[in-house]
Chain A
C-alpha cells in the first residue's frame, strides 16, 4: 500500500488531496489516480496525458515515472510550475 498525494493545480482542479493505493510502480498508479479523481468529480477535465506530464517524487525525492514502488512509500504528483 502506498500513499498518493496530489499537488498544485492538479489538486486544486480535482479536489483530491491524498489517497491510498496498491501499485508496483509509478506508472501503475496513473489509472488509479484517474479513477480517484473521477470518483470525486465525474466531470473532471484531468486526463491520463496530463498525469503523465506530472513530476513525480517518492519519499521526497524526484523519480522517473518508471520508478518501482514499495509498501509504505509516499508518492507526490505535481504539475511543473513557476511564479515567484
Chain B
C-alpha cells in the first residue's frame, strides 16, 4: 500500500523454485528515498545479495522495476528497468527498456517484481491482475524474440477466449544459451546491456506476460495535466527533442562524431571512418526510413522503422551504426539494418556483440586467435551472430565477450571494455570526460551510466573535449541527474531539453561560446551544490522532472532533493558492487585509450584517466579506494556495506 500517486503499492517476490508468490515490504519511506526503477532495484539487491552469489546461480535475483510515472501518461515515461548480477561483468548491473512490459506490469497492479530461484524446466509466466500462472514453455523455447511474443500472445488469446492486451518480456535463443550479453526484448525494444537475458535463461525463464485493468492514481490531476501540456510543448519546440531526434533519430550523430574524431573506427584505433557517409543517420533517413515510431506516451518518437526482407522493423541506433559500421570497417547500411534486426530477434546486445567482434577481428589480424574474422569482410556475419546465439564453433567463444577472450588469447590492450562491458561507439580520446565516465560507470563501459559527458564535449555543446579540467565534477553531477531522471520511468532523451536551445541553434554566438568556455571551470561550484544539495531547494522550468513528481506522485520534490536521490542511487549501486569486489582498480580503460594518442602528433588525444579518477572520487566524497565510506553512506541514509 502507498499514500503516493503513480505507484500501484505492490512489490512482488517470486520464487521460481517453489512457485511461491509473496509481497515484498517496500514502504513509502523507501519510495521517497529511491523513487523507483534502477535505484529501487539496487536497494533491493543491496539488501539481499551478500557478495557470494554468482550470475547463473539460483541465488541470483532479477529485479524488474517500473517508475512511479510509468503508466501515468507523463511524457516518455513508460520505461522499465531490469537489474541483476550480470554474467558479463560479474557485478550488479541494470538495463533499461522502452517496451510496453512495464506499463502492463503496472496494469497488473505491480510496481516491481523480484525473481529468485530457478524453474525446473522451461517456463513462461502469466501475470493477470496480480495473480501468477506458470506455463510450460516447451512450445516457445528456441523461438526468436518476435516469434516468442507472438506465440505467448496466441496462447493467452486462446486461454482467455479473446484478444488479450498485454506486455511481454521475452528472451531469444541467445538468452537460452547463456550468451553473456543476451538481452530481454519487449515489443521491439531491448533491455540490451549486461546480459539480463542470460540470467533469464539460467533460470529457465523464457517470457513473462503481464496484463490487467488497474491504473495508478494521479496525485493532483489538474496540475499534472497542465504541467505535462507545457512540457510536451517544450519538448516539441526544442531543437534536439523536437527536430533532431524525430528527423534523424540517434543515428543523426554519426556525421558530427566523424568530424569531431569521436566515431569508433577499426576497433577504436581511430576516431574517423572514411566511409562514414554510407552508414550515417542521413543515409538511414534517405535510403531506409519507412516511418518513425516511439515508445508509449513519447512525443519525441525517435525510433527509425526500416524494411528488412519486406518487413517493417526497428532500425539501428547510433551505437549500432558506429560499431557495426566503421568499427569493423563496414560501409553497407543494408547489412547493418539486417544485423540489427537479427541481433534483436536472437536476443543479443548489439553493442557487446559488435565490440567483441571487432576485438576478434583485430586478434586474428595480430595472430593471437585464428578465427577467420577480418575487418571489412562482412558478408558472413549473419551466420556468425547466429552461431553466437546458439554457441556453435567460434560463436561459442564470442558469446563470452571481449574481456574473457582477451584473458584467454591476449590482446587486453585493445579489448575495448570496462569491467567486462564493451564500450558504446563514442571514441573517448577526444572527449576525455566521456572516457572517465566509461571507466567509473557502475555497470561497466556504458555511455549513459557514465554520465554521457560527450553531449557537452561536442555533441550538443562545445566544451573542450581534450581538457580534464572540471570533468570529474561534471561527470558526477551528470551521472546523478541522469540516474534521477530514469528513476521515475522517464527516457533519458528528455534530458536534452535541459541543454538551452541557443547552445544548439547558435553554437557560434558569443553567449554559447562563453558558456562553453565557462563550463569546465564550474567544478568547485558543482561540488558545493553536490555536498549540500539542500541549498537547491527550488525548482526551475528547465528541469521539469521534480514538478512531475510533485504533481503526479505527490512527493515534495525540488532540484536539490532530486539530485540527492540520483546520488543515493549511484552510491547504493556502488556499495552493492563493492561486495562483489569492485574498487578503484576496476575503474579502468584499455591501454589503447589511455596510453596511445589518437593523433600521434598530439599527445593530448588520450584519456588522462588516473588524474581524473582521483578528482572524481574526491568529488563524490569516496575513499581513495574508489568506494563510499561509512560516513558518506550514512549521510545518504544507506547502511554500510
Contact = CB atoms under 8 A, between A and B. Distances in A.
B240 A81 contact: yes
Given A7-B282, A84-B454, A55 B244 contact: no
Given A78-B255, A82-B253, A8 B462 contact: no
Among B240, B256, B272, B319, the one with the most A-chain Cβ atoms within 10 Å of its Cβ is B256
Indicate the size class of the contact surface on chain B: 35 or more
Contact of A81 (B272, B302, B459): B459
Indicate the size class of the contact surface on chain A: 20 to 34
A38 B251 CA distance: 27
Interface stretch (B165-173, B498-506, B530-538): B498-506
A8 B256 contact: yes
B96 to A, nearest CB: 14
Nearest to A63: B259
A50 to B, nearest CB: 8
Given A8-B244, A53-B507, A60-B272, A80 B256 contact: yes
Nearest to A11: B282
Contacts of B249: 83
Contacts of A79: 239, 244, 504-505
B506 A53 contact: yes
Interface string B452-463: 101100011010
A78 B248 contact: no
Contacts of B574: none
B508 A52 contact: yes
B598 interface: no
A83 B503 CA distance: 14
A29 to B, nearest CB: 15
B203 interface: no
Contacts of A32: none
B169 to A, nearest CB: 24
Contact of A83 (B240, B255, B505): B240
A9 B248 contact: yes
Secondary structure call for the A interface: mixed
Contacts of B256: 7-8, 55, 78, 80-81
A80 B507 contact: yes
Contacts of B317: 84
A78 B506 CA distance: 12
Nearest to B243: A9
B259 A8 contact: no
B496 interface: yes
Nearest to B447: A84
A62 interface: yes
B327 interface: no
Interface in B476-499: 493, 496, 499
B292 to A, nearest CB: 12
Interface in B433-464: 447, 452, 454-455, 459-460, 462
Nearest to A8: B252
Contacts of B496: 82-83
B253 A80 contact: no
A71 B247 CA distance: 33
Contacts of A21: none
Contact of A84 (B239, B250, B259): B250
A83 B250 contact: yes
Contacts of A5: 277
A52 B505 CA distance: 10
B253 A84 contact: yes
B553 to A, nearest CB: 27
A22 to B, nearest CB: 23
A82 B240 contact: yes
B43 to A, nearest CB: 28
Contacts of A7: 255-256, 280, 282
B255 A84 contact: no
B255 A8 contact: yes
Contacts of B243: 9
Contacts of A55: 256, 259, 507
A82 B459 contact: yes
A70 B281 CA distance: 28
Interface in A38-84: 52-53, 55, 57, 60-62, 65, 76, 78-84
B258 interface: yes
B42 interface: no
B434 to A, nearest CB: 10
Nearest to B454: A84
B425 to A, nearest CB: 8
Interface in B205-248: 239-240, 243-245, 247-248
Q: Which 9 A-B pairs have the closest CB atoms?
A: A82-B460, A57-B259, A7-B255, A80-B507, A82-B459, A83-B245, A81-B244, A82-B455, A53-B506
Interface of A: 5, 7-9, 11-13, 17, 52-53, 55, 57, 60-62, 65, 76, 78-84
11 contacts: A7-B280, A7-B282, A8-B282, A80-B503, A80-B507, A81-B253, A81-B459, A81-B504, A83-B240, A83-B459, A84-B253
Given A82-B240, A84-B253, 20 more contacts: A9-B244, A9-B248, A12-B247, A12-B285, A12-B286, A53-B508, A57-B259, A60-B259, A60-B272, A61-B259, A62-B259, A65-B508, A79-B239, A81-B240, A81-B248, A83-B249, A83-B252, A84-B250, A84-B452, A84-B459
